[in-house]
Amino acid sequence: MINPFQRRQLFVHPVQYWFVVTTLLYFACLLITLYAVIFLPMALPLDDPTVSWEHQAQIATQFLELNGRIWPWLVITFLLVLLHSMYFMHRIAGPLYRFMALFRSIGTGQLYQRARLRKHDYLHREAQAFNSMLDHLENRIQTIHLHSALVTQAYEAVALRVQEQTPGRITDALQNLEEEIRRFKTCLTEFELHTQPPVNQQRFEWTGAIVSKSSAVIKAV
């Protein structure tokens, strides 16, 4: 389940800065287009000597009135678009920031971590798929834990039977097998799981005692 969490930073991902800059560029292009289509044709007659001063005065009045009506609404529209863009990107950049933190923690073996997003964030489906992947991975590792304990148990049984035989190649092979089991156990202990069945956990903790006991048996041989 994805639980909400709080974020207090406004900019949490570099993509937000890029999106704000892109919004500013789009608005600048809109202003240039608006000036070229509306204001420039009105301003050209003001520099035309063939136009009478009465007509130029009328054009100047219309130009000033148009500026007074359009620019306040343009500023308001720009602020609304900018705020909405920041709000929209925050709902995407927040989950991306959370995913980056999860990638770093999971890379260190903390498989119990899960993606938790706020209610109104985007990428909820991706977070659920990510959590499902971690659940399956945890289940696979727990299965490996169980098989590791079973392999160690079988190893102990073989080592006990070798006790009645003369030392030789079999003893050397068992010593190599013991070393590989120790390395395998060390690799498994690097992963931190969220939940683990008590039986599996006890069985895996029992592995260390079995290996130690088996070492003593081999040395006795």
Examine residue 7 and state whether it is found in any structural domain, yes or no: no
Other residues' Cβ atoms within 10 Å of the Cβ of residue 13: 20
What pLDDT score was predicted for residue 129?
Answer: 92
Same domain, 20 and 118: yes
Tokens of 24: 């500013």
Q: Is 192 helix (H, G, I), strand (E, B) or coil?
A: strand
Q: What is the CA radius of gyration of the chain?
A: 36
Same domain, 25 and 115: yes
Examine residue 162 and state whether it is found in any structural domain, yes or no: yes
- Compute φ and ψ for 192, nearest 5 degrees: -105, 110
Q: Is 117 helix (H, G, I), strand (E, B) or coil?
A: coil
122 contacts 96 by C-beta, under 8 angstroms: no
Examine residue 193 and state whether it is found in any structural domain, yes or no: yes
Same domain, 96 and 179: no
Same domain, 135 and 162: yes
Q: pTM of the entire structure?
A: 0.57
Same domain, 98 and 35: yes
Examine residue 5 and state whether it is found in any structural domain, yes or no: no
Same domain, 30 and 76: yes
Same domain, 139 and 198: yes
Same domain, 55 and 39: yes
Domain boundary among 68, 90, 122: 122
Same domain, 106 and 193: no
Rounding to the nearest 10 degrees, give the CA dihedral for residues 70, 73, 79, 81: -90
Measured distance CA(37)–CA(91) in Å, rounded? 36
146 contacts 196 by C-beta, under 8 angstroms: no
Which one, of 158, 7, 210, lies nearest residue 91 by Cα? 7
Measured distance CA(218)–CA(91) in Å, rounded? 61
- Compute φ and ψ for 23, nearest 5 degrees: -60, -40
Tokens of 57: 């005065």
What tens-digit pLDDT sequence spans the chain (221 residues)? Answer: 444 455 566 677 777 888 888 888 988 898 899 888 888 888 787 777 787 888 888 888 888 888 888 888 888 988 898 888 888 888 888 888 889 889 998 888 888 888 888 888 889 999 999 999 989 888 888 888 787 788 877 777 777 777 666 555 666 667 777 777 777 777 777 666 655 544 444 444 444 444 455 445 444 44
**Total structural domains in the chain?**
2
Work out the end-to-end distance of the chain between its first and last CA atoms, rounded to an integer number of angstroms. Answer: 54
Domain residues for the domain of 31 are 14-122
Domain boundary among 80, 101, 122: 122
Q: Which residues of 129-151 are buried (b: 16+ CB within 10 A; e: fewer)?
A: ebbeebeeebeeebeebeebbee
Examine residue 2 and state whether it is found in any structural domain, yes or no: no
Domain boundary among 106, 122, 138: 122
